[in-house]
Amino acid sequence: MVTNLQSWNIKENDFPKDADDQTKVEFMLHYAVLAPSSWNSQPWKFKLSDGSVKIYLDPERRQPQRDPLERENTISCGAALCNLQLALHRYGFSEETAVLPDPQEENLLAEVKWQNIKTPGKDNKLFKAIQQRHSFRKPFKPTVVPSNIINTLVNAASIYGCDFIPVTNDSLRKALAGMVSEGDKDLGSEKALRQEYASWMRSSGRKGDGVPGYAMDLNALEGILSPLTHRFFDYTDEFANGDHTLAAAATLVGIVCTPEDTKKWWVASGQAIERVLLSAAANGIQASFLNQPIPVPELRARLQSLMEIQSWPQLIVRLGYPTDLNIAPTPRRRLSEVLM
Ligand SMILES: Cc1cc2nc3c(=O)[nH]c(=O)nc-3n(C[C@H](O)[C@H](O)[C@H](O)COP(=O)(O)O)c2cc1C
């Protein structure tokens, strides 16, 4: 039984409407954990009390080779924060969120103070999209994403002070695709990093974390063997070529950028990317991440000059209409494992 995929089966009407407020907010955390995270590491912990939820970075989920400063893990927690805020609004709660509220607590990323005002938000499209969003790593349909939807994505990121820069121009996108594959090669040249990647690959969705082979667009046998084969063999060229093809062929690539490269802005870019992805999913569009130039300082600088920006690129995604409407979800850990 693939029990860890059940997290996705949560129903809006399962909301415990007769329970106390804290139990209601605990229910909403089922939506927070459906956020995307780097290698599906789910690097979050939640501390729930009467009137607030604190979101912590879980140091046990670190990826020291790929993410030594925990930039990507902080972004992932920002995405979970976005989902929690949407769920609170959906169920009639107001919230006041402080990012990095206590400098003494290094891993405390946000405190969300909530109040049951019994006034649900009017527009629940983004809340509903939490269960519709999945990473989609196969080629997209050739259909172009209309400009009004691209504007919606730009606006979604701007709510958190971030830029979503659409790259629709062919030559820019091809240059970017080149940098993605250079990033793959640069990162993959480190054996320790390749081993770390392999440690997050899963032969199925049975375990509550990591990326199963089916989600990486591997065939059944490759998927089953991937945690083992990737530990012993170097697949860097395959990754680089595959990502290059996907980036060059996408009709829309977007870059999320922040004015500063600080922890506070990493949280904001997590909220921003999740709102972008949910706005896309609400319109039948899915995405996959192609961040590889960003952890390589030289490539990140080249990306800034290619795009003629001073701001800090945090994430790169390709977006489009999926060829497959039944995308198999990736697993999640049980809520009891992420509650402090
Ligand atoms: C900060 C961050 C970085 C990510 N980096 C990559 C990446 O480099 N390559 C990739 O294929 N997916 C990447 N992902 C997507 C995750 O692998 C994906 O969210 C996770 O496996 C859960 O699957 P889901 O998005 O389908 O729910 C990233 C996600 C986040 C939030």
Quick one: 79 and 151 in the same domain?
Answer: no
Candidate of 37, 185, 201, 202 to mutate for ligand 1, largest count of ligand atoms within 8 Å of Cβ: 37
Distances in whole angstroms, Cα of residue 273 to Cα of each of 110, 129, 160, 164, 286: 17, 13, 10, 8, 12
In a domain, 71, yes or no: yes
Residue 332 counted as domain residue? no
Q: Are 100 and 215 within one domain?
A: no
**For residue 337, is it within any domain?**
no
Phi, psi of 145 (to 5 degrees): -75, 125
Which of 160, 83, 128 lies closest to 283, judged by CA?
A: 128
Q: Which domain, by its residues, includes 164?
A: 147-320
Question: Would strands 286-289 and 52-57 be described as parallel, antiparallel, or unpaired?
Answer: unpaired
Contact 136, 286 (CB under 8 A): yes
Residue to substitute in 62, 135, 276 for testing ligand 1 pocket (most ligand atoms within 8 angstroms of CB): 135
pLDDT of 223: 83
Residues 295 and 151 reside in one and the same domain: yes
- Residue 329 falls within a domain, yes or no? no
What are the residues facing 322 on neighbouring strands?
Answer: 140
Q: Report the domain count for the chain.
A: 2
289 near 255, Cβ under 8 Å? Answer: no
Read off the tokens for 181.
């594959």
Name the pTM for this structure.
0.96
The DSSP-derived string for 118-174 is: S---S--HHHHHTTT--B--SPBPSPPPPHHHHHHHHHHHHTTT-EEEEE--HHHHH
Q: 154 and 127, same structural domain?
A: no
Is any atom of ligand 1 closer than 6 Å to the C-beta of 76? yes
Distance of CA 36 from the midpoint of ligand 1 (Å): 6
pLDDT for 3: 53
Ligand 1 within 6 A of CB of 4: no
Q: Which residues of 315-332 are buried (b: 16+ CB within 10 A; e: fewer)?
A: bbbbbbbbeeeebebbbb
Assess whether 206 and 308 both reside in one domain: yes
Side-chain-side CA neighbours of 284 within 13 Å: the count stands at: 10
From CA 336, how far away is CA 338, in angstroms rounded?
6
Q: Residues 102, 247: one domain? A: no
Query: How many angstroms separate the alpha carbon of residue 209 from the centre of ligand 1?
Result: 12
**Predicted local distance difference test score (pLDDT) of residue 1:** 37
304 and 257 together in one domain: yes
Does residue 315 share a domain with residue 237? yes
Residues 157 and 296 in one domain: yes
Which of 80, 110, 133 marks a domain boundary? 133
Note whether 7 and 127 are same-domain residues. Answer: yes
Look at the block and give the residue holding tokens 């007769």. 18
Asked whether residue 140 is assigned to any structural domain, the reply reads: no
Report the residue among 291, 296, 300, 333 best suited for mutation to probe ligand 1: largest number of ligand atoms under 8 A from its CB. Answer: 291
The whole-number mean pLDDT for each consecutive block of 10 residues of the chain, a chain of 340 residues, reads 73 94 97 97 96 97 95 98 98 97 96 95 93 96 96 98 95 96 95 94 88 89 86 89 93 97 98 98 98 97 97 98 91 95
Q: Is the CB of 289 under 6 A from ligand 1?
A: yes
Residues 112 and 166 in one domain: no
What's the CATH number where 277 sits? Answer: 3.40.109.10
181 and 275 together in one domain:
yes
Would residue 327 count as lying in a domain?
no
